[in-house]
Amino acid sequence: MKVLVIGGTGMIGANTAVHLSDSGHAVTVAGRHEPDADSLAAGLPVLLGDYAHDGFDEAALAPFDAVVFAAGQDIRHVTGWGDEEFWRTYQIDGVTAIAARAKRAGVGSFVQIGSYYHQVRPDLAETNPYVDARRLADEGARALAGDGFTVCTLNPPSIVGMAPGRSTRQFAKMLAWAGGELIGKVPDFAPLGGTNYLSVRSLAEAVEGALLRGESGAAYLVGDENLSFRDYFQLIFDVSGSGRVLAERDEEHPFLPDRVLVPGRGATISYEPDARETELLGYRRRDVRPMLEKMAAAVR
């Protein structure tokens, strides 16, 4: 299958592109910039453009059998959750428009990687413009399903993984903290609350499953392990080999500041993905610790 991965130079997109390529698909990555020399996507064909500003027209999309949208934006790209113009440009209108161009171009399948908040906690869409934008992008793309155009959305939780660049630097800092190198700079505690976690490897497998077997018009809530933030941070401490044990406090943490906690500090989002959907999509479970071990080995 000839697949275009939009956002293929980012952490999720690059891991997805490599997985699909390793599985025998002919993969092209799309983004606003060429991949860095050390990118996971280096060596794959590249298509440059900005999907939210009419990039990737019908002629550019026509050669592909499928498009994977992995360029979702979040709080890292704006100053606050309330930036409604940004969310409309890059989520609501941008995602729906690129899906519509893919349909007009004759692309057979469109898989969107979204986010879990609106599917697990629909109430958050009523108060948070980001969550509402994810919901509308999800619904807008899936509304285009039909007439030989298969569309489905994967809505994952917090993703565990990295790629050369920012995500590797961030995990290296957390590993240094776990190893005792940041004593006096980062306190040994985790904030209250928790969420579901999924490895980027599992997500990439789910994307391939959606391309091959996904039901048109479906929104799949994917996930793996429900962990408190303390338990997740403790896993990082454990794979570091430090033997140190974390406390739990109702305080803001520098590695998980309040500004990125969509439901608020102290909230817990937990769920069990549907077993039939997990089997259909064919992604592995219980992969959080193995992924952290792989990441720690790579950093070392």
In the chain, what are the domain boundaries? 2-159+197-224, 162-195+226-270+284-299
User: Which tens digit of pLDDT belongs to each residue from 228-274?
Assistant: 999 999 999 999 999 999 999 999 999 999 999 999 999 999 999 99
24/280 Cα distance (integer angstroms): 20
**How confident is the model over 38-56, as pLDDT tens digits?**
999 999 999 999 999 989 9
Would the pLDDT of 81 be above 70?
A: no
- Token pair, residue 208, equals 């391939």
2-159+197-224 topology per CATH? Rossmann fold (3.40.50)
For tokens 């950093």, name the residue.
Answer: 299
Helix axes 166-178, 229-240, angle to 10 degrees: 80
Tens digits of residue pLDDT in 164-210: 988 899 999 999 999 999 988 999 999 999 999 999 999 999 999 99
Percent of all residues in the chain with a pLDDT value above 90, rounded to a whole number: 91
What's the residue count for the chain? 300
Q: Using the predicted structure, report yes or no on whether residue 77 has a pLDDT greater than 80.
A: no
